[in-house]
């Protein structure tokens, strides 16, 4: 089926590296009538995939409480997936995502049980901060009559494509078949993994939100491709996961230097090498599978590699390395490379990353930023449970991964206070005796988060009519 590019919000396929500034306004509905009017009027301003070059771009997303606040009935709301309806902050989600200790939702700046309710995310992107601010200011009067601004997340494109720990980011991204973008090496994925209304990697239509009882102008919606005969609210829409991740770059590099000291003296090269082993890539982006001994330097977007043939035992890229855990490629299950590639395609995410705080890229020599820094981690998926939550719980948090037994993901799976008797190690396989880095510490804390529904342009217009 041909993708309806005029209907799909463009942030799904474009990471907006040309948009230096972004501001995510987290809104709460205070006047339902004005909110619906604003949504209907702004639907045409939302940036679709087929849009040409613009100095600003705009996107909308709704939490389940937001859909309820603008009047979607309970029966219609219940057609959305359970994960989206329940939200990120439940005891079950907390266990799945390991949001404990310093990442406990009770301590969040937004999105937590003690924070103001978030109904809508209103995302403004600009080529610079002034452009983004001026665009929002032109809408502020209409926004103020409908919404309360709960929180503002200021984000920027990554400096030199590096995230705060110092690594090149965004190399291995899936491409949606039919979007006009290709990626290669098992990264071209069927649209239904990221969009409702299209077949996915199981060759079926993903669960979508259907209109079970009459509301609004249903003529704006198309029929369910699954054959139910109902109107499809979800078609050309997707789910967006947003988590604000604070990164302790000073603690990170101090930990690495302590673990790699040579006769009590810091060893810069070894600390970088250990960091690369934990990540699975060198700071330049070069893959350890292809460059196991030294960073070739420069800006490297090398993504032409797999594991079964080139590094089955993890002697080049450790099995517990971050990029190997969150995308095992052809070394996922014991079904052989072809079967693993097929299964991996069913658990992919389209990541959308912005940095927050002062732009800062750390290194062994420079790891004291002027203030709090981190990432606004976002990702798109059509099935939050099978994609984002599966990756976080089964591949990142779970210590028994492949041949490992006490190894969480070294970046996003380590707890501040492990349970009694719980070890947190990082294993570096060698041809003789494995090397084990013991006592991993957590350097990434969640400061807020939520699950959002990103509707199609037509569904946005519909929501303004209910």
Rounded mean pLDDT, 303-319: 94
**pLDDT class of 412 with cuts at 50, 70, 90:** very high
pLDDT in tens, 295-304: 999 999 989 9
Whole-angstrom distance, CA of residue 50 vs CA of residue 241: 23
pLDDT in tens, 120-174: 999 999 999 999 999 999 998 889 999 999 999 999 999 999 999 999 999 999 9
Q: Which of 41-55, 82-96, 224-238, 405-419 has the lowest mean pLDDT?
A: 41-55
CA angle 100, 103, 106 (to 5 degrees): 85
Q: Which residues contact 54 (CB under 8 A, 6 or more apart)?
A: 47
pLDDT in tens, 253-263: 999 999 999 88
Residue 332 has pLDDT above 90, yes or no: no
Q: Which value, in Å, is the radius of gyration of the alpha carbons in the chain?
A: 22
3-class DSSP assignment, residue 193: helix
pLDDT in tens, 72-121: 999 999 999 999 999 999 999 999 999 999 999 999 999 999 999 999 99
Is there a contact between 142 and 35 (Cβ–Cβ < 8 Å)?
Answer: no
Name the burial class of residue 448, with classes exposed (0-12), middle (13-18) and buried (19+) by CB atoms within 10 angstroms of its CB: buried
**Of 123, 122, 126, the residue nearest 19 (C-alpha):** 126
**Of 249, 248, 243, the residue nearest 377 (C-alpha):** 243
Pairing outcome for strands 21-29 and 120-126: antiparallel
- 405 vs 213, residue with greater confidence: 213
Whole-angstrom distance, CA of residue 34 vs CA of residue 52: 30
DSSP string of 230-262, one letter each residue: SEESSBT-EEEEEEEEEE-HHHHHHHHHHHT-B
Whole-angstrom distance, CA of residue 158 vs CA of residue 169: 8
What the block records as the tokens of 185 is 């090496």
Is there a contact between 13 and 4 (Cβ–Cβ < 8 Å)?
Answer: no
State residue 180's pLDDT score.
Answer: 86
- Please, what is the average pLDDT of the chain? 95
The domain locations on the chain are 10-164+188-243+449-463, 247-447
Residue 23: count other Cβ atoms within 10 Å of its Cβ.
19
Residue 334 has pLDDT above 90, yes or no: no
Rounded mean pLDDT, 265-270: 93
Rounded mean pLDDT, 230-244: 98
As beta bridge partners, residue 445 has 246
What the block records as the tokens of 104 is 């406990």
State residue 185's pLDDT score.
Answer: 79
Residue 54 has pLDDT above 90, yes or no: no
Residue 398 has pLDDT above 80, yes or no: yes
State residue 265's pLDDT score.
Answer: 87
State residue 53's pLDDT score.
Answer: 72
**Of 299, 265, 259, 292, the residue nearest 277 (C-alpha):** 292
3-class DSSP assignment, residue 279: helix
State residue 403's pLDDT score.
Answer: 80
**pLDDT class of 193 with cuts at 50, 70, 90:** very high
3-class DSSP assignment, residue 212: coil
State residue 57's pLDDT score.
Answer: 95
Rounded mean pLDDT, 206-212: 97
Q: What percent of the chain has pLDDT over 70?
A: 100
| Phi, psi of 92, rounded to the nearest 5 degrees | -65, -45
State residue 402's pLDDT score.
Answer: 80
State residue 186's pLDDT score.
Answer: 84
Is there a contact between 417 and 410 (Cβ–Cβ < 8 Å)?
Answer: no
State residue 200's pLDDT score.
Answer: 97
3-class DSSP assignment, residue 281: strand
| E strand or H helix at 355 | strand 350-356
């Amino acid at each position: 089926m041909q993708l309806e590019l005029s209907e799909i919000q463009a942030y799904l396929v474009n990471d907006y590296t040309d948009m230096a500034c972004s501001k995510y306004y987290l809104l709460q509905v205070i006047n339902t009538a004005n909110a619906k009017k604003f949504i209907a009027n702004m639907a045409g301003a939302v940036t679709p995939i087929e849009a040409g070059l613009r100095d600003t771009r705009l996107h909308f997303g709704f939490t389940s409480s937001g859909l309820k606040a603008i009047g979607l009935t309970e029966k219609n709301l219940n057609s959305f997936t359970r994960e989206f309806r329940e939200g990120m902050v439940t005891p079950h989600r907390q266990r799945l995502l390991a949001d404990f200790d310093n990442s406990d939702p009770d301590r969040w700046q937004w999105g937590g049980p003690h924070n103001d309710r978030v109904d809508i995310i209103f995302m403004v992107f600009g080529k610079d901060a002034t452009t983004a601010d001026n665009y929002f200011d032109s809408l502020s009067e209409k926004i103020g009559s409908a919404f309360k601004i709960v929180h503002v997340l200021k984000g920027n494109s990554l400096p030199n494509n590096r995230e705060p720990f110092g690594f090149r980011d965004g190399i291995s991204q899936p491409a949606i078949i039919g979007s006009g973008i290709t990626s290669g090496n098992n990264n071209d994925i069927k649209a239904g993994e990221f969009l409702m209304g299209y077949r996915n990697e199981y060759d079926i239509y993903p669960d979508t939100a259907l209109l079970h009882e009459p509301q609004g102008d249903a003529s704006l919606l198309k029929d369910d491709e699954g054959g139910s005969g109902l109107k499809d609210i979800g078609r050309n829409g997707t789910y967006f996961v947003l988590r604000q991740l604070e990164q302790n770059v000073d603690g990170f590099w101090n930990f690495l230097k302590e673990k790699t000291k040579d006769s009590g003296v810091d060893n810069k090269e070894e600390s970088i090498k250990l960091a690369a082993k934990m990540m699975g890539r060198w700071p330049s982006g070069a893959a350890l599978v292809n460059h196991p001994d030294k960073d070739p330097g420069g800006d490297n977007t090398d993504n032409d590699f797999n594991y079964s043939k080139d590094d089955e035992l993890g002697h080049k890229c450790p099995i517990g390395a971050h990029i190997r855990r969150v995308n095992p490629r052809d070394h996922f299950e014991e079904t052989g490379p072809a079967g693993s590639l097929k299964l991996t395609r069913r658990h992919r995410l389209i990541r959308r990353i912005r940095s927050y705080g002062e732009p800062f890229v750390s290194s062994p020599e420079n790891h004291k930023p002027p203030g709090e820094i981190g990432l606004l981690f976002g990702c798109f998926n059509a099935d939050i449970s099978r994609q984002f939550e599966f990756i976080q719980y089964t591949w990142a948090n779970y210590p028994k991964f492949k041949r490992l037994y006490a190894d969480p993901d070294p970046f996003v799976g380590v707890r501040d206070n492990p349970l009694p008797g719980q070890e947190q190690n990082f294993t570096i396989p060698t041809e003789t005796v494995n090397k084990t880095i013991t006592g991993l510490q957590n350097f990434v804390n969640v400061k807020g988060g939520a699950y959002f529904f990103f509707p199609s342009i037509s569904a946005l217009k519909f929501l303004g009519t209910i």
